[in-house]
Structure 1
């Protein structure tokens, strides 16, 4: 010990002895060494948590020192002897520094510094790391105390290398169980082992017995390394290339070194700056570095003055700004689940992030695990700014939190860590806190940016592009072996705008979608309609019958988004492998058209037919020319409604089109419901073509064409209407145009007699006397025909008219048919000589059955006599009236007799008598009433005096609502026995 310059040194002499004057070799043929022992050269200091602004929360910090340092020197053979003095023994310039042989990690005897029988220089710097020289070096030492301005400099020895003074050092081993003060220190046990691996000549065991992995070797560079009694003042730097990627997966539990760089600055054994750079990747596959820095900061503390603490900061540095994705990058579905061909991260360096503490108590100690990159200041996720390039070279920017995954872990360990980080269910119906956290990280806002979600077909640019509200990202492979994998981000769901749907459903907004299974597993070309997206919830289109001329309300539930056919219902059944099967299930078709109506009230699903795979092929390449060809071809069909939107020429606007042409068939009678037997479409074809053009001047021009061919209407078995072609067309500012051709009306059963009058009717029901009225409430089509008076001898038939009317409403009410022979207000008249009468009849039928029937007939006779002095007359008339109203559940049947006569004498005295008798039966629901009424009126007029007297009597008989019916009183078998007894 030399107090003047605080030198503390232990010197051991090997093969030297004192001859009384000098130190000389004891054995001239044996090696001679001088071993110098120095105090610890590094102090390991506790690193506190991030400081508060005033530093008042901090107290004393614990420290632990490294082990002592031994420098071994060989005495050259040309030196005969040495002076026995401290300055002489500190003259290391003429000695040869000894290093640990390359490839050795352990001394010959535990605790010694002897390797292969020779002492070596071993320095523990930093604490727990043993280093030695890697190249020949020299030590520059001041042998005597140095005084300047009355002050003595601290003793020190400077290491000097052959490369411009820079010395090369090699770490050959680590010291275990030195201390527990490494919680926030970036120099973890594993990182110290990495330094040993990279600076020594090391080979790592290869996977499964394969050849060992050769580690690219690079020593530490010491720009400055000065040993002192109080510790070393050093500047060390190391940088290493990545390990060659093994041909096979590494051994389970094996961790390969991921250290890239190491910098260390100390002053008198106290750390001033440490920088450790680890290799890794972000979850998107971008190569990145985790840079951990330890700095000494000076903080003013109350009552303590200025104190200096170590503080740690971690940052992620993006090494690879852009990553390419595609079919050959490991995706399950050849990259179709990833609509971005490339992702570029604009961030180069993050702000300070939350440090991740390794498990130093593990055996072996583990390094920093994978973690979500979070800000140190708030603890919130740091959102990287990414720019994605879609399939049409369109740039889309968004932000997203990412995971940093250190390199070197085996696949099993990496999977385990990623599964923990990505724990949660993105589709949970009742999400937990874990689910919500994962959703907030993976659901990314796109703010309506337009991007292509799939590679568009050739010649159809923009056909797969949408304005995107959010993208839901997943990580890794999908399917049965789904697991997170670094570098395989994909889109598991999205919210997009679908302009075609928005035109029909204005409040649709962003719709949740996912990729179509057939598209993912077999490409878009293998889907019959070229579908690439599925709506998560099918959208029922509100398409009123008034927009299709009452022909149909095709409220189909559209679900598939295709590249060229637009948006269509999902009538495609696929296998688990995504292959479209040959036959499409009828149940699937019914589900797709759950609310579709035909003629305003008939469930269209009852008449839909099975769709074969061959017929669906027309949807794959569906341009405007192909659509027109299908619509005009007699046998052309579009098996599913197509909802599409396209840009007009010269950018003048957009055209929305809904088109469908399908063959109908026999009614489905599985439900046993026969109320819809009114319609026969077994040979019918339904066509709808609706177009809306939206120009830049915000003026909408809509045209709609509807057509139903070869269908029949049956009304209660009494009338049958056959229509070959019913068309509807409407346009902006025009009255709807409805035409029907090939219409034929036939009567049967009780009305069959009218067919005998067909010679008086026009051949086509819409010829002369026909009319068509299109109103907002519906279409009224029919005819009214007045027959001329017919007189044959004493027989006269006059005021006869026939009418038939077909009503197709637009408000969802059923179609109806009304037939009439004259009307109540204008009955027909019949006269035969002295006898005459008249009447009327009308009937209203719709899909629910007969709704109203009313009729009346009157007959009787009259006679008059004039004798000059007196004249008179008498008439007797009788009639029957019948009325049925289904809406009121009321039936009324009545008969009457009316007799009247008069006598006039000389024009002075007139006497008239009228007798009226009526009997009526009425039924309301289950209550019946029989009402009788009689009235006698006598009138007398003499000159200017007249008098009239009327007598009236009315009686009614009501049955109780609970009276038994005829069916209750007479058993069916008794009735069957009763009827044959009166049979002729």
Structure 2
């Protein structure tokens, strides 16, 4: 190309070749740590070898001035090329998508050369891009543990572990504050009751993006997993009660969440997905057998048995055909027709399997584990089923598949409050399973599958034994979402136990089978949470002049997946349907509703009323008079009110043509949060003559006491921040006595 003529400075100093005033980009060919060849366009500095003709001495480079003079050539555009910055164990586990690279160099003035080294790069982590497409490019530097100690040697079947100065296999660190991979912005990418948000501070070869920086004696650097350092404060509160970090303990790196990606060719993916399908089938059979054995009642066991029978009917043929495909692929390039035959046989089994795992008794985790390899195998077996498609696979023309996955199955412990242990009590060491997987290939549209599940645990509210109120037993709570269909909430309830002061309710519940209520125990499930409970109607009681009617009991628990706290409620009758108590001519009724959380009272509502009534019917005329007194109490976490009222009503009716009524009501209401007592009186007169009716209401209200909560004068007219005065206050004062003019001596 025609380059600009360098400036004639007479000493032949190094210069940047330019074209039309712009640094000219040369083509550089490099080999990265994975052995991949890459080409880059980059400007360079021209340094003449030999003697400086003017100074008659060897050419020298000023090391102090070089960074400022040649800053324009430090940056190389990456244009999205992948670059492996460290030796990989699996394909792509040390690769990043580069936006640009920034180099510096160690100058060798004597030999008029330099040794370039990577100072910083700006890149997108593949695992972050696939799991959260809004993930931005970040500034990265080579991690200090990697620069100081390198990486341990391990094989693909080994996991990271202690025994090396860089046991966590850290390769990159963020140059500044890390971004958050946020799954809560869209319900299709959230984990239901666990949002797997992660603040990224570094990159590990074995674990992918991590929140641990790996410096200053970091647990990750020594081969241990510290949940707080790894996840930070990214996790929300589970069931609105506790952070997931409170359930985790420091452990080995095998307990850390794996946040990785891989890129496999089509033939390798065909082999790995067939092996994955076999393992998922074996796990599914064990899981469904446990569902049948441990079902809460006969109905649940029957549903699980139906699902197990449907899966068992498909397993033998699927396993046989998967084994045949695996053997044929491993035998390539010999007998390619065997691969096609095995692919055709396996493809015929995949749709019946999808039908079987779609039955109601199949857990969402089982459905997720099986459907992911099935969807990939459907595409690949269709290609491999004929000679032309198989040839494309073998030649690499069909394209491979890029998979990004966040997988975690940690060990968790019970949780409780001070003096109230075991509010959350798991029955196994690893009840939580979190899995997020994104798959992209040239032969199929991108697919995402998200699963969060927690199994076999109890929620004890608010305490255990005689000090508790309610025990909720869950077989599982699962949430699954993805591109294949709508969000799926999978809840299997193990039952309710009532404790302490509510133990009498538990005795009533035991008298009726779990699945035999006329209004059975209900479980309402939504993406926001689960509400479980029951309503029980008791028979009326009548003894002589005493009558107690419309009696009902109910209890429920609301378990939100994220955000709000878990609450438990109990009610004796309700505001819409109070109990009725009658003794001769005196009657009354009432209701009680209570809702509490482990943090304290949420709502207490109580209403009681007594009424006496007398009526007379003389044929042509009738009349009645009634007197009622009552009280209403409502208490919430930070406010409440108490109302007492008196009501008298009288009415008269003549031949159904003329009627009149008068109602007088007096009430006093005390507001706890303000300390105010409010009195109200109302008189209502109604008259009806044939088709004409009219009513008149007269009411009066007075605040009798209390000033708590009223704004102060400072809050009404706050002083200025500059001079401490207030214009409104000055005008108010001048209305009574004008401010005298300043007198000067």
| TM score, norm. by length of structure 2 | 0.60
* Structure-to-structure mapping, 1:814-825, within 5 angstroms: 814-825=565-576
**SS of match in other structure, 1:734:** strand
Find the counterpart in structure 1 of residue 535 from structure 2. 785
Counterpart-to-counterpart distance in 2, 1:686 and 1:863: 65
Q: CA deviation at 1:880?
A: 1.8
Counterpart-to-counterpart distance in 1, 2:150 and 2:693: 101
Q: CA deviation at 1:668?
A: 10
Is 1:398 matched up with 2:38?
A: no
Find the counterpart in structure 1 of residue 91 from structure 2. 461
Find the counterpart in structure 1 of residue 104 from structure 2. 474
Find the counterpart in structure 2 of residue 385 from structure 1. 27
**SS of match in other structure, 2:403:** strand
Counterpart-to-counterpart distance in 1, 2:688 and 2:74: 104
Tell me if structure 1 keeps the 8 A contact 2:127–2:259: no
Counterpart-to-counterpart distance in 1, 2:447 and 2:433: 20
- Structure number with greater CO (CA < 8 Å, separation at least 6) is 2
**SS of match in other structure, 1:520:** helix
Find the counterpart in structure 1 of residue 556 from structure 2. 804
Deviations 1:834-856 (A, max 9, x none): 54332222234457643433221
Q: CA deviation at 1:611?
A: 2.2
Tell me if structure 2 keeps the 8 A contact 1:677–1:714: no
Flag the 1:601–1:736 CA change in 2: closer, same or farther, 3 A. Answer: same
Is 1:712 matched up with 2:459?
A: yes
Q: State the structure with more CA Rg.
A: 1
Counterpart-to-counterpart distance in 2, 1:908 and 1:741: 57
Flag the 1:692–1:804 CA change in 2: closer, same or farther, 3 A. Answer: same
Find the counterpart in structure 2 of residue 691 from structure 1. 437
Counterpart-to-counterpart distance in 1, 2:40 and 2:692: 105
**SS of match in other structure, 2:410:** strand
Counterpart-to-counterpart distance in 2, 1:909 and 1:378: 105
Find the counterpart in structure 2 of residue 976 from structure 1. none
Tell me if structure 2 keeps the 8 A contact 1:666–1:680: yes
Tell me if structure 1 keeps the 8 A contact 2:536–2:554: yes
Counterpart-to-counterpart distance in 2, 1:803 and 1:788: 14
Counterpart-to-counterpart distance in 1, 2:20 and 2:170: 45
Flag the 1:746–1:699 CA change in 2: closer, same or farther, 3 A. Answer: farther
Find the counterpart in structure 1 of residue 128 from structure 2. 501
Q: CA deviation at 1:405?
A: 7.7
- Gapped runs of 5+ residues in structure 2? 153-163, 263-271, 288-371, 381-392, 394-398, 711-745
Deviations 1:871-905 (A, max 9, x none): 88765543222223558x4523223354658799x
Flag the 1:538–1:962 CA change in 2: closer, same or farther, 3 A. Answer: closer
Q: CA deviation at 1:572?
A: 4.4
Alignment: residue pair count: 560
For the aligned residues, what is the CA RMSD? 5.4
Flag the 1:859–1:762 CA change in 2: closer, same or farther, 3 A. Answer: farther
Flag the 1:868–1:473 CA change in 2: closer, same or farther, 3 A. Answer: closer
Is 1:840 matched up with 2:591?
A: yes
Flag the 1:723–1:568 CA change in 2: closer, same or farther, 3 A. Answer: farther
* Structure-to-structure mapping, 1:324-403, within 5 angstroms: 372-375=14-17, 384-390=26-32, 391-402=34-45
Structure with more strand by fraction: 1
Flag the 1:355–1:665 CA change in 2: closer, same or farther, 3 A. Answer: farther
Is 1:744 matched up with 2:496?
A: yes
1:419 maps to which of 54, 63, 67: 63
Q: CA deviation at 1:557?
A: 0.8
Find the counterpart in structure 1 of residue 232 from structure 2. 593
Flag the 1:859–1:484 CA change in 2: closer, same or farther, 3 A. Answer: farther
Flag the 1:831–1:775 CA change in 2: closer, same or farther, 3 A. Answer: same
**SS of match in other structure, 2:192:** coil
Tell me if structure 1 keeps the 8 A contact 2:409–2:432: yes
Counterpart-to-counterpart distance in 2, 1:815 and 1:455: 48
Is 1:451 matched up with 2:83?
A: yes
Q: CA deviation at 1:401?
A: 1.5
Find the counterpart in structure 1 of residue 705 from structure 2. 959
Counterpart-to-counterpart distance in 1, 2:692 and 2:20: 112
Find the counterpart in structure 2 of residue 510 from structure 1. 137
Counterpart-to-counterpart distance in 2, 1:775 and 1:871: 54
Counterpart-to-counterpart distance in 1, 2:145 and 2:84: 18
Find the counterpart in structure 2 of residue 552 from structure 1. 194
Tell me if structure 2 keeps the 8 A contact 1:445–1:471: yes
| TM score, norm. by length of structure 1 | 0.47
Find the counterpart in structure 2 of residue 921 from structure 1. 669
Deviations 1:424-449 (A, max 9, x none): xxxxxxxxxx3xx5542211112222
- Gapped runs of 5+ residues in structure 1? 1-346, 359-367, 424-433, 635-644, 965-984
Counterpart-to-counterpart distance in 1, 2:525 and 2:112: 64
Deviations 1:71-98 (A, max 9, x none): xxxxxxxxxxxxxxxxxxxxxxxxxxxx
Is 1:561 matched up with 2:220?
A: no
Tell me if structure 2 keeps the 8 A contact 1:354–1:376: no
Q: CA deviation at 1:926?
A: 1.8
Deviations 1:739-776 (A, max 9, x none): 13334343555x56544543467658999634444446
